[in-house]
Chain A
């Protein structure tokens, strides 16, 4: 099946992945220059653990009449309210994970060790919560293997709104964010609101990862947050150039991955990540030849 043929049935999935492919690398570029790319791996896992916890608790909320008296099976089958419920739990998982990392601060080991530890815990929580809920186990299996064919219009709208608003904020405060990320002390001396700007970056990242996990799955998130910036950096001659090239590589990877997925009938998420790796290859080769 070609991408054009698939459009009729999977337009929201295709659009979701194209938007994610263009915007997530922008966010990933900030993680990259701040040397926190590892968060691109951990944050989606935090969100997934939140979603799994949401599924574990879903029968209780259904029993409380939260979904207008609908039975559990109907609630689980993609109602508007259920989607919002899962988004809320994805955000909860993401921000609780981030909050714990901030609370622990640098009192425990290195940052990469802390993030790795948090990833391991979030992974275990995801599996345990999913195992305890029959609905959740199926769902989590779906999102971990990158099953993005079921993106509906409401999911797409939510994803597009959050990602586009997040990107707009990052572009709007670009100069401030570069200064704060490069040289926190000078930013403070110049009277910039350092903590508020860092909070903005964390909020945009956290929310994007939360809705991304629900819509396109953690595997695509991992790949699109990390791979395009790696491929773009060796060619970048300025910060806007770096961000633009990352977004372009991510968008191209999404398009190539989708095409390959429908053409060869392979799972979407691994195809997009593989395409992102292919798109990043020239950058890696250039970096390798320079070193």
Chain B
């Protein structure tokens, strides 16, 4: 397992980026109740659990896309970078990789609704950092799965996030491509104190890259240090099977 990164210099021990207390989340009726969690700077967390248990509900709640039905959620003035599932993006849109990355700077457009030169430079730098410098002018639909995933990571990084939320980033990409994404996330956590929350069905691919696991099942969320996490008994399997997600 990668060593746990140090907390950001600006974050003292015990402080948190995001904190939920007694949170209830769901659609009209709560699917998850009494959720108490916190995320610290530089922490890398995997959200695992059986299908339909509420992983996405929790994720959407933390993103602010779902109003809590109860409890409290502190995430004020938190800069969040969101990496959606790449299948979510319709290839019908003729968008270049650079156009997609620059979408992360849409909140900071000029008065004439144009991208600032700093945003353009930042996007180019991110493309370079993520190994996509030559792909800026390529249509997003023509990139490989792994490249597309990195382009979406670059878009999320345009907001200079304190917290990254990644939705199934390993789905449909090969091991090497998935590792490339997680290595970037590890670097961000270690060097910049960026916290990362990843929803995954494939915990075994992610195990090397997380510190904490949130297990979502039976309407509750349980927290495990990664060393102590064994999904098999939780899923009623033999111990040692670390797939950790859907059954």
Please report A residues at the B interface, Cβ cutoff 8 Å.
32-33, 35, 172-176, 178-179, 181-183, 185-192, 233, 236-239, 241-242
Q: List 6 A-B contacts (CB under 8 A).
A: A174-B113, A178-B93, A182-B90, A183-B89, A185-B84, A186-B155
> Does B159 make an interface contact (CB < 8 A)?
yes
Residues of A within 8 A of B94 (CB): 33, 233, 236-239, 241-242
Distance of B168 from chain A, by nearest CB (Å) = 13
A119 CA to B163 CA in the complex, in Å? 46
Known contacts: A175-B106, A185-B84, A192-B106. The answer to whether A239 contacts B65 by CB under 8 A is no
Which residues of A are found within 8 Å of B113, using beta-carbon distances? Answer: 172-176
> Is B93 a contact partner of A179 (Cβ separation < 8 A)?
no
Asked if B247 lies at the interface with its beta carbon under 8 angstroms from chain A, I say no
Query: Is there contact, CB below 8 Å, between A179 and B103?
Result: yes
- A238 proximity list for chain B (CB < 8 A): 94-96, 99
**Chain B nearest CB: distance from A105 CB in Å?**
14
A225 to B137, CA, bound (A): 28
Q: What range describes how many residues of B lie at the interface?
A: 20 to 34
Q: Which of B65, B95, B106, B115 contacts A188 (CB 8 A)?
A: B65
How many Å lie between the Cα of A183 and that of B99 in the bound state? 13
B81 to chain A, nearest CB (A): 8
Q: Which residues of A contact B92 (CB under 8 A)?
A: 32-33, 35, 233
Contacts of A176 in B (CB 8 A): 106, 113
- 13 extra A-B contacts, CB within 8 A, seeds A179-B106, A189-B65: A33-B90, A35-B90, A173-B113, A175-B109, A178-B103, A182-B95, A185-B88, A189-B63, A189-B82, A233-B94, A236-B94, A238-B99, A239-B95
State how many angstroms separate the Cβ of B46 from the closest Cβ of chain A. 20
For A234, give the chain B residue with the smallest CB separation: B94
**What is the distance, in angstroms, from A164's C-beta to the closest C-beta of chain B?**
18
Cα separation A172 to B92 with both chains bound (whole Å): 22
Q: Is the interface of A mostly helix, strand, loop or mixed?
A: helix
Q: How far is the CB of A174 from chain B (nearest CB, A)?
A: 7
Contact across chains for A192 and B90 when beta carbons are under 8 A apart: no
Please measure, in the bound complex, the distance between the C-alpha atom of A4 and the C-alpha atom of B107, giving whole angstroms: 48
Instruction: Choose among A191, A233, A239 the residue that contacts B107 (Cβ–Cβ < 8 A).
Output: A191
A186: chain B residues at CB < 8 Å are 82, 84, 103, 155
CB of B166 to closest CB in A, whole Å: 12
Question: CB-CB < 8 A to B102: which residues of A?
Answer: 175
| Docked-complex contact B103 and A175, CB < 8 angstroms | yes
Query: In the complex, what distance in Å separates the CA atom of A175 from the CA atom of B109?
Result: 9
Which of B82, B103, B139 counts the most A-chain CB atoms under 10 A from its CB? B103
Residues 90-129 of B, flagged 1 when their CB comes within 8 A of A and 0 if not, give: 1011111001101110110100010100000000000000
B139: A residues at CB distance < 8 A: 237
Closest to A172 in B: B113
Given the complex of chains A and B, what is the CA–CA distance between A216 and B27 in angstroms? 46
Pick from A182, A187, A188, A242: contact of B89, CB under 8 Å? A182
Interfacial residues of chain B within 72-89, with CB under 8 A of chain A in the complex:
80, 82, 84, 88-89
Give the nearest-CB partner of B96 in chain A: A238
Closest to A245 in B: B94
